[in-house]
Copies of this chain bind each other. A is one copy, B any other.
Amino acid sequence: MLDELRSAARKVGSERSLRGLLIDCKRLLSERGEANSAGIAHDLVARFSALPDEQQGTFFERLSSDFSPDPKAVLKSAQAYAEAPNAHNLALLTQTTEPPRQELLRRINRSPGGTSSIVAMRRALLARVAKKPELQAVEADFLHLLSSWFNPGFLQLQRVDWNSPAQLLEQIIQHEAVHQIDGWDDLRRRLQPDRRCFAFFHPQLPHEPLIFVEVALLPEMPGQIAPLIDKASKPLLPSQFKVAAFYSISNCQPGLKGVSLGNFLIKRVAEELKRELPQLKTFCTLSPLPGFARWVRADSVCEGLPKARAQTLTEAHQALLAACGGDFDKITTAAALRTLNADASAALLRLGAHYLACHSPTRSGDPVARFHLDNGARLERLNALGDLSVKGAKQSFGLMVNYLYDLQKIEAHHEKFVQGEVAHSRAVSALL
């Protein structure tokens, strides 16, 4: 009984907080001068983050309903502009059609710590958008502004090594999403001179990396991930470096999802390494195929293919099915994959090549493949038994792939990919 009362009181309290918050949003927007804005804005984000989860949701809904453009005003200014498309009418049009919440966010961004608060707000917002599609317009405004503020011109590339602050390294350990870092000793190996790590920072979040990439400097293009992340491996000498292999790229800020960072990072790092180590001739990745096993199992591998191709592919599919006795689950362990016969292995590579080369340009294509191919990389080589970890075996029957970054050709390859064509090596051609 008492508990219910308390809970009710809390609810009333938080509803009152929310009302107050929205009033202050209006106040912040109506501030003509900028004198008070920073203070109001600072206050506002503190109060938002103190709101209970449910009220935060309501807040976003109110951002959608109360801070959108006024349809009537929009229509009127659009008509005026249609009749006389001059500077004055355009100014009016811009004013009436821009959602007022954009200006609200800009003013919040002006206060100390504002950028960081907006990134955090978007993180909370993204968690809700899936369930409430009407929040998409609000989300679009957040993304629009954050893309402008986190544009690559404002980002700072920083090398991360064993001389970096421990608090930064701790974040690297925590955010590594591709090949987990197993404590400080593992990290230490990954920061030796034949391994590199680079991160992007924004001046407004000086102590928080936005995204980072890990690179291995090697004598040749790698086919397996295990030796690259073996913490007991012996560092190579600079004279042995020929290839720079990007083997992991991880985002650190969920609130910046959708803001382009990775493609710039890879290119900046490639240029940086080329400058430091002119002996490097090849820049490539060693990448997973996270959606491969799912696609193989889905039985839609031949969808939309010309007959001849469909034929080959069906054969490969059947060869693999035969090898695992009709049950793909049987080949999702390192042990099973190691004992596959030559035919099955060949079938696996053939299926992988098709998955990447033909399926990637479609919307449902592999996300990692789409990322690198859209960046202008070339599909270079498929590697059987490349990742025999539990995850690797399950997601892609152990397959890994190298994408090649030929800095001279990335523009051309990117153009091709936009047209639906995937640049690939002869070795890959042979598999198709």
| Residues of chain A whose beta carbon lies under 8 Å from any beta carbon of chain B | 32-36, 38-39, 64, 68-69, 71-72, 74-75, 77-79, 81-82, 85-88, 90-91, 93-94, 97-99, 106, 109-115, 133-137, 140, 145, 147-149, 151-154, 156, 162-167, 169-170, 183-184, 188, 203-204, 260, 263-264, 374-376, 410-411, 414-415, 417-418
Contacts and interface: CB of A to CB of B under 8 A. Distances in A.
Given A72-B82, A91-B140, A109 B414 contact: no
The 9 closest A-B pairs by CB, nearest first: A78-B78, A87-B137, A203-B203, A35-B414, A97-B97, A163-B165, A71-B82, A75-B82, A87-B136
A85 to B, nearest CB: 5
A163 B167 contact: yes
Nearest to A167: B162
Contacts of A109: 148, 151, 153
A153 B33 contact: no
Contacts of A78: 74-75, 77-79, 97
Nearest to A34: B260
Contact of A112 (B112, B148, B153): B153
A274 B36 CA distance: 19
- Give how many copies assemble into the complex: 4
Given A35-B374, A75-B79, A375-B35, A94 B97 contact: yes
Contacts of A137: 86-87, 90-91
Contacts of A115: 153-154
Contacts of A97: 78, 93-94, 97
A35 B140 contact: no
Contact of A94 (B64, B99, B152, B169): B99
A386 B231 CA distance: 40
A93 B203 CA distance: 33
A70 B415 CA distance: 27
A164 B165 contact: yes
B68 A74 contact: no
A155 to B, nearest CB: 9
A35 B376 contact: yes
Given A74-B93, A99-B90, A162-B167, A153 B414 contact: no
Given A33-B414, A34-B260, A69-B93, 16 more contacts: A33-B376, A33-B418, A34-B152, A36-B411, A71-B81, A71-B82, A78-B78, A87-B133, A87-B137, A90-B137, A109-B151, A109-B153, A113-B153, A145-B148, A164-B165, A166-B184
Contact of A91 (B33, B135, B136): B136
Contacts of A98: 94, 98
A58 to B, nearest CB: 17
Nearest to A151: B110
A106 B154 CA distance: 12
A20 B148 CA distance: 27
Nearest to A133: B87
